[in-house]
Amino acid sequence: MVTNVTSFGRSGLSDWVVQRVSAVILALYTLFLVFWFAQHPQVQYEQWSELFKCTSMRIFSLLALFSLIAHAWVGVWTITTDYLTPLSLGKYATAVRFLVQCACTIALFVYLVWGIDILWGN
């Protein structure tokens, strides 16, 4: 049986579900924005600001942000475990994979906090 230290007990099915659900949410968000821009071809700051003052739009944007972070994390984890292997990096593969995953986790966390501050800050 193969175990992976960086998987934190996740299964492939849970990764698959996270990827699919987050992709659907991101697609819906993108379609909404495309439709909104089609309805407002000469968008001004006031219109854009008014859109994001609406609580439902903030919640939808927050859901899209969480979806983007989750989607990105599953992708990063998959890529690092598939391509940062002892065959490609030698005996330092586990350390390099761990460092890359830590750097990506920190970046995703910073983006999440920054996005929340933009959406809900003053």
Extents of the domains making up the chain = 12-120
Are 100 and 80 in contact by the 8 Å Cβ rule? The answer is: yes
Q: What is the pLDDT of residue 55?
A: 94
Summarize the confidence of residues 74-99 as an average pLDDT. 89
Average pLDDT, the chain: 90
User: Is 3 within 8 Å of 59 (Cβ atoms)?
Assistant: no
Q: Give the Cα separation of 33 and 30 in Å (integer).
A: 5
The string of pLDDT tens digits covering residues 57-70 is 999 999 999 999 99
Mean pLDDT value of segment 7-19 = 79
Query: What pTM was estimated for this model as a whole?
Result: 0.84
Judge whether 62 and 121 are in contact, CB under 8 Å.
no
Q: Residue 7 — very low, low, confident or very high, per pLDDT cuts 50/70/90?
A: low
Which CATH fold topology does 12-120 show?
A: 3 helical TM bundles of succinate and fumarate reductases (1.20.1300)
d(CA 62, CA 90): 40
Residue 17 confidence (pLDDT) above 70 = yes
Helices (H), 1-122: 12-39, 45-53, 55-83, 86-89, 93-120
Comparison of pLDDT for 21 and 8, the residue scoring more: 21
Token pair of 69, please?
């972070």
Is pLDDT above 60 for 2? no
